[in-house]
Amino acid sequence: MVGIITFALSNFPPTFTILGPLAAGVQILKTPAPRPPDSPAEAVLRWFLFFGLGVSLFYNFICHVFLGEMAATPLAELSGW
């Protein structure tokens, strides 16, 4: 489980990009039966922008402001190459 969390947080742009459509799918499935025609597209756009841009860029901000030394370390040095 720790390996999965480490992988997800070290590859945060794809992780948060995938979370957007997943959250949209949950919202679409939970919407009552007579859905407006534009409801699915609005849900996908809303959640994609929230996770793909908003949460991803906020995570980037946290890493660069509070974990600056780690963010400045080359990737090869972190992975032990």
Q: Which residue has the higher pLDDT, 81 or 49?
A: 49
pLDDT band at 38 (very low <50, low <70, confident <90, very high): confident
Q: Which residue, 18, 25, 19, 17, is CA-closest to 41? A: 25
At residue 76, the pLDDT reads 60
pTM: 0.65
Domain that holds residue 10: 2-79
At residue 81, the pLDDT reads 55
The residue count for the chain: 81
Share of the chain above pLDDT 90, in %: 2
Tell me the C-alpha distance between 42 and 38, whole Å.
Answer: 6
Per-residue pLDDT of 58-75, as tens digits, reads: 988 888 899 878 777 776
How many separate domains does the chain show? Answer: 1
Tell me the C-alpha distance between 35 and 73, whole Å.
Answer: 49
At residue 78, the pLDDT reads 61
At residue 67, the pLDDT reads 81
